[in-house]
Amino acid sequence: MPRARRPDDDEQLGLFEESPDEAPASASSASVPAPPAAAPAPAVGAAPPAAEVAELAGRLPPGLFLGGSTWSFPGWAGLVYDRAYPAARLARGGLAAYARHPLLRAVGIDRTHYRPLPAGELARYAAAVPPDFLFLVKAHEVCTLARFPDHARYGAERGRRNPRFLDAAYAAAEVVAPYVEGLGGKGGALLFQFAPQELGPPRRFAARLHAFLETLPRGPRYAVELRNRELLTADYAAALAAAGACHCLNVHPRMPDVRVQAQLAGVGHSPTTAATPTTLAPPATPMTVGRWLLGAGAEYEAASRRFAPFNRLAAPDPGARRALAELAREADAGRPFLLTVNNNAEGCAPLSILALARELAARG
């Protein structure tokens, strides 16, 4: 189905340009010299980290994985990259430079929300980053839409009931399989994001969610993100725990404070899972997963216009930062913490991450 930009869609492209198909040589063209091949563009360079950044990185627990929602922002020149590059250039070739920043040990992949990516493309992402780097990957939206929105990009399906909603067979084949094959151990979590929509009574939704998660292949770490706060119930928490999945804490105007989310969803407690056949991989180890998306009362598109080019903290949110720092301390107790930060949270994801690192270091 055609893809259009959506409010949560940070621009990402493939790491490498696709080469055009070579045309077969003909007799008339054989005597014509081929034009010289264009020299490959030099690699995207990383900005030398400030001494404070390197020192802070050394003081953070090894189980803490912080990163941006994506990496393709020219405004990060001097913060992440050595100079300003076009966004398309960064999208295709900036990930390796991004991953050299001492505080950036994770990143989100949102493209997969609109269409699944093949394992080979995900493998190229994995090859560009160091071994101790994690990806937070969105699952294809057809897994989590009960009905297709009334939007032109959905074509003939707009407004119709979605037959692949919580279809575990589709998710296993088209979403989970390439995620596992492409990213391997660098797959931090596979995120099923439920957009604001009518999903029925909370207890019924929790039961359907449990049946879906329980049927997915064992091994990957599955996270669930809600936009309907009424679904954040004890039944929802029990459904996640029984399937060995986790709630994705999200700083977003539609949702309660992340500390309230953690309490309601049982974040921080080891999930209990039923016995599984020995032929299946065991459930992933517990992890706290979060996304810092948008400040209170803000709207995504308005924040994007206000904060561009995303090179300063235009709207500091110390309350959200303190709440996330409290939850991140679980990494000190041996429970990893994976958090991605959107530019629209405060205006500049790398500077938000630096401020969060300072908050953590200041509190020991």
Model confidence over 155-193: pLDDT tens digits? Answer: 788 888 999 999 999 999 999 999 999 999 999 999 999
Structure tokens that stand for 164 in this block: 């692949």
Handedness of CA 256, 258, 260, 266 (dihedral sign): positive
Taking a C-beta distance cutoff of 8 angstroms, is the pair 117, 111 a contact? yes
Evaluate whether the domain defined by 53-139+168-274+287-362 bears CATH number 3.40.50.2000. no
Segments of the chain scoring below 50 in pLDDT? 1-32, 270-282
pLDDT at position 338 is 97
Taking alpha carbons only, the member of 356, 207, 223 closest to residue 283 is 223
Distance from first CA to last CA of the chain, Å, rounded?
49
Strands (E), the chain: 64-68, 106-109, 134-138, 187-193, 222-225, 246-251, 288-292, 337-341
Model confidence over 246-293: pLDDT tens digits? Answer: 999 999 999 999 999 999 998 865 444 333 333 334 456 689 999 999
Q: What are the extents of the domains in the chain? A: 53-139+168-274+287-362
Q: Residues 54-60: contacts with CB within 8 Å, 24+ apart? A: 54/102, 56/102, 56/103, 56/354, 56/357, 56/358, 56/361, 57/102, 57/103, 57/357, 58/102, 59/361, 60/103, 60/357, 60/360, 60/361
